[in-house]
Structure 1
């Protein structure tokens, strides 16, 4: 009678068993005999090498080179880069081409560490990772680390990358500017299969930055996320105006037609998430959400985005009518964060709009999400009420747009109907008016402001709102 053995079980069963075994136990299993080692070698490599977390120090890149030379390169699918803790030894070391001075410093720092890799070694290593699909970075990486690694990818022959994420810390947009030669190298195919791009930036993205996104995302990009942070809005917009009107007599921000280049095109885009960016209406309707992607687009999330020309009520109405005109039948998620983000305008406040038709389908596995163009699909309309409260009502966004567009009415009628007339109420604009008084006071009288305006602020805070009350239904 043959002795019991895992090798006698069907491959499907052994695969299932091995997938539940911890790594250290799988090592012991391979040491039992040559047959076990041969049978479970691929499983072991999948467990160990599918995901790697690598330090950006040259010694770590050198070890990665050894790993790929051993034949496990095809198993590596996900790499997270970190610049700690070894990078603290010499943070100025370059990944792609360390100088002789750096090499000498490295060799004298410790005789036990292996020598640094030769120039462009990371590019050569990447050529042996045919199944590398995801690259991301932790918060310790800076923009220099990111640019060097991304540049190495573009120079390599790896073409399976589907997801690219920048470090979660804010990278200065000014440091992302690329020369024409650098831009050209991204056209060679390393990102032809890129489907997801997530960027964390700080400052004002220029056309150069958007051009780079268009180049690497032109073939397959479906999911674009840019979480930006603008520390000095006035300086940022002034620099934009200078760039757009350096040969013009009038430098009026209302005359800026676009921040995105005319060649910007992401034909396969399905999901878009933008935070704290300056855009124009044409940027959104002509480049980010053009009519030719309406049949595939699924998710739109715009937060704190400032649109030019500076008429928020009209701008966002145009964007919503654009969605309505071209139907966007697969749009299942919409989030526009508008309330409280236009403090310079104190006569009205725009509401936050949100619907997620996937959440409506709670029961029944396999059911498709409700399209937003069904008349019974409700959108949550949320408006700031006073200093702390919120006014919320649920309306059919499709029906509201349909009625206003059919009757040829304008944006004022639309927002009035959508918010039940609350968008211009004293309660909705109260905090914006207080902020405006404080800004004017500080501008004229310094940080402490003018004491004579304090009473005005207190008067606004004491207002009784007979036309608006807190509602949630």
Structure 2
């Protein structure tokens, strides 16, 4: 006996939706064409599958098509948009950047059919002149975003080579859609200067970006640029994240080799910096002062913070990392941070001219168990460089190791600082194996300063340090 032609409609709605969600797009289309009843029943589900997540390249025709989709009434279905710069990502990075910004830079009804740049002939052949000639102000990103009332995330895939995204961020603010929860930058390092924040006054930045980010919860960025530009970037982050930001990840690549100087109020962040709802923070490659730490990890939000990851960050209070990071750790204990389940501080591997000690990397990873760092039995992995290639690893209770140091009003007590690091590393932080890589760097610096001339004495010192072995061997992990 053949099945009933409308048997899908006779099943419970939950089972019907499950079956339809597993069908390929082509089969889903065929199912809708079987009858008016099928079309009526599955139209909403079909649109959800097709339009909920869109992946778009930056071709002008694609932006035009997106504009048509949003204006046709499908805009409310779109929740996630991922931009791709294929096929121009490898050959024409400038052309790719130009494509995303054309709409907002042209007068109504105008569109350049030729892109004036060296080697653009092949790229121009990929553009449909008939289609692109119709692009006008209606295809601006601002206009498109206004027709996406339920847009929740904007992302860039690995093919994108855009080094700035000012057009996108200003379009979000100008559209005032206020639904975007996740914003991720292109995977390449974005030039901080391309955000054009350095020439803007704080009032201008706050005014320009005060709209459109009311529900932003996750912000991920990869940046590159001189440290002098970063205060404006931090102000921008504070502006877009002041209402709802919970998860902040920024990986920064320094351009300058010299240590930058803090601003007039003793930090690299603006004085009024605030992210009151922050729960998770991951910073990589930034210069910070203790004042910046108190702004990023504010006591008022201590009960909310669940994750703190600081990698390759330099504390600029003085040339004494042991003191600086001891002060940070005692600050964390003093303010408890009762829900902190993930703490990672990458302190090793930073050469600042000091060869007498090296600090360990600290890692608490209790995200799955949910056990906070101050709970009984919570272990912290203490990893210290041992020689040039290996590591000395031990597990300690960081909360207990801090002991009563957090009760001291003066964190400058050298005895307390030495006792803490001595106990945490089992005395290995000043061992020959822990400091070997720093001493080798120092000797090679001397060699370079002498224009590559390696005296007999210097050569013997380098060989001696390279061959050092001590009693740490039995504790070393490969």
Shared fold, TM over 0.5: yes
| 8 Å contact from structure 2 (residues 161, 187) kept in 1 | no
181, 186, 189: which one aligns with 1:167: 186
Query: Is it true that 1:424 corresponds to 2:430 in the alignment?
Result: yes
| 2:236 corresponds to | 212
Alpha-carbon separation, structure 2, partners of 1:376 and 1:232: 42
| 8 Å contact from structure 1 (residues 295, 328) kept in 2 | yes
Q: State the Cα distance separating 1:227 from its structure 2 match.
A: 0.7
Alpha-carbon separation, structure 2, partners of 1:385 and 1:28: 64
334, 341, 363: which one aligns with 2:350: 341
Query: Is it true that 1:46 corresponds to 2:48 in the alignment?
Result: yes
| 1:445 corresponds to | 450
Q: State the Cα distance separating 1:138 from its structure 2 match.
A: 2.8
**What SS is found at the alignment partner of 1:130?**
coil
Alpha-carbon separation, structure 2, partners of 1:379 and 1:218: 32
Alpha-carbon separation, structure 1, partners of 2:148 and 2:79: 8
Q: 1:144 to 1:461 in 2, by over 3 A?
A: closer
Q: 1:232 to 1:441 in 2, by over 3 A?
A: farther
| 1:117 corresponds to | 135
89, 92, 95: which one aligns with 2:102: 95
TM, length-normalised to structure 2: 0.87
Query: Is it true that 1:318 corresponds to 2:327 in the alignment?
Result: yes
Q: Equivalences for 1:149-188 in 2 at 5 Å?
A: 149-178=168-197, 179-180=200-201, 183-188=205-210
Q: 1:16 to 1:467 in 2, by over 3 A?
A: closer
Residues 282-330 of structure 1, C-alpha deviations (whole Å, 9 max, x = no match) = 1012x10010111111001111101011211111111111111111110
Q: State the Cα distance separating 1:30 from its structure 2 match.
A: 0.7
Deviates more, 1:110-119 or 1:17-26: 110-119
- How many residue pairs get matched? 447
| 2:165 corresponds to | 146
| 8 Å contact from structure 1 (residues 157, 190) kept in 2 | yes
Alpha-carbon separation, structure 1, partners of 2:87 and 2:204: 30
| 2:214 corresponds to | 192
Q: State the Cα distance separating 1:431 from its structure 2 match.
A: 0.7
Q: State the Cα distance separating 1:182 from its structure 2 match.
A: 5.6
| 8 Å contact from structure 1 (residues 389, 470) kept in 2 | no
| 1:373 corresponds to | 374
| 8 Å contact from structure 2 (residues 238, 275) kept in 1 | yes
Q: State the Cα distance separating 1:112 from its structure 2 match.
A: 4.4
Aligned CA-pair RMSD: 2.6
Q: State the Cα distance separating 1:118 from its structure 2 match.
A: 1.7
Alpha-carbon separation, structure 1, partners of 2:387 and 2:53: 50
| 1:351 corresponds to | 360
**What SS is found at the alignment partner of 2:403?**
helix
| 1:307 corresponds to | 315
Gaps of 5+ in 2: 116-123
Deviates more, 1:455-464 or 1:376-385: 455-464
Alpha-carbon separation, structure 2, partners of 1:141 and 1:460: 45
Residues 327-374 of structure 1, C-alpha deviations (whole Å, 9 max, x = no match) = 111000011111121342111000011011235x3xxxxxxx112112
Query: Is it true that 1:400 corresponds to 2:401 in the alignment?
Result: yes
Residues 198-257 of structure 1, C-alpha deviations (whole Å, 9 max, x = no match) = 0101133511000000000000000000011124422xx3xx43x847xxxxxxxxxx72
**What SS is found at the alignment partner of 2:239?**
helix
Alpha-carbon separation, structure 1, partners of 2:88 and 2:405: 62
226, 229, 250: which one aligns with 2:250: 226
Q: 1:358 to 1:98 in 2, by over 3 A?
A: closer
Residues 393-449 of structure 1, C-alpha deviations (whole Å, 9 max, x = no match) = 11110111124446886211100010011101111100110011112321x233x45
Q: 1:45 to 1:303 in 2, by over 3 A?
A: same
| 8 Å contact from structure 2 (residues 348, 384) kept in 1 | yes
**What SS is found at the alignment partner of 1:74?**
helix
6, 10, 13: which one aligns with 2:15: 13
Residues 116-161 of structure 1, C-alpha deviations (whole Å, 9 max, x = no match) = 5323622111111011010012344455662111211111021110
TM, length-normalised to structure 1: 0.88
| 2:155 corresponds to | 136
Q: 1:223 to 1:116 in 2, by over 3 A?
A: farther
Alpha-carbon separation, structure 2, partners of 1:386 and 1:455: 18
Query: Is it true that 1:455 corresponds to 2:460 in the alignment?
Result: yes
